[in-house]
Structure 1
């Protein structure tokens, strides 16, 4: 049973709460002194990129004082490891007209088929803190991923060396690509994803969060170190880590249906 994996780790880990994409301007507080003030809707935004979005990621920017025209300059920071030039800020400056309260920051990317089907692209958008509303939401972290249609291919068995346990594990496959997903693998709401090549070997396994939060150091993630396949069983060598360091490499195995 999955619930048993915390018995020997109860002092180290606690159940994580799922990240929720922010869609409402929860932090837009107005100064009320007549000066322009700006804010993002929240600290995080999750984006599913799909063929119908015109190769654009839209991030709303809110203005508190809507009197007169004003403008705000934005900057885009791309996470390390992402190909240079893959994402670009199409609106380095947003111009607000008199009475306008919401503007759109537009981040563009190339043809969706040029993006990895398994990758999570992380970036942040920000403006000068002195121009922020009292909420101080002048930076937003963006996690963008290709929208994939997953369907169940059955139930396999997952074994974790790190937690010393195993359980029946549903397995899903994307219709658009050879990408597999293990839903709610360690924690509900946190899937483990990977892609296979034509020979059935692992071709992509990006860093991803497990869903467990270290009591002192925060979210625990995994980094791919290699894999081995024997029949339907795929064994991943995964480095379990937090911002402050890591717990070493463990072998995690999924036996596919």
Structure 2
């Protein structure tokens, strides 16, 4: 009998230890944010570009912040996360009574030219409601780059691959001594090339570069520009005032869609 009692007490002790262990493993979870009844519903507007490229002499940019409840004058706090330590951000955005959109000025210093710097901004959570749809976001990531890229011509760009024509700027950087078509096929993806501005000889700055075309099956498509010396596959035609490029559309490691002409006709300088 004593044997069975010892076994029973032992089993009860083991259960107690297991229950204690399980209770210790339970993680205290932070309660979900519940918005108050009178939140202003502030947000960074969708009109704010996530990437800003400015001249080296420019040391600040403006960001728009909007609100839905506009009756009273108010200030809303802003938290910023700047790993590079180059940005100066106001602690809050101010709204006058009846004002829907406020603006903050973000300054920066000691940027390396052509380097991209990132800043994360977060609005005071107590004045937001994540369950209400707005034309913007309560958090915003900004990237800033100083560069001397400047428009030197406007023209018409024809892509045989996309079978389309659109207005396009041609830019030049004195510091880099090269040209580019900014965001030529897709936003943020540039086509850079070398040219003296008048001769027939043109050459890509990179042998292969991403186009921004994310194919649903093959992923990112790359451009390879043919520019063999002495062969007129990519060139400037002074008579037609055109820059012509023989571009191969390539899936790295798999193959190519083939080569197609890309033609930029200069209409104004």
* Range into which the TM-score falls when normalised by the shorter chain: 0.3 to 0.5
TM-score (norm 1): 0.48
TM-score (norm 2): 0.46
| Structure with higher strand content | 1
> Quick one: higher RCO (CA 8 Å, sep 6+), 1 or 2?
1
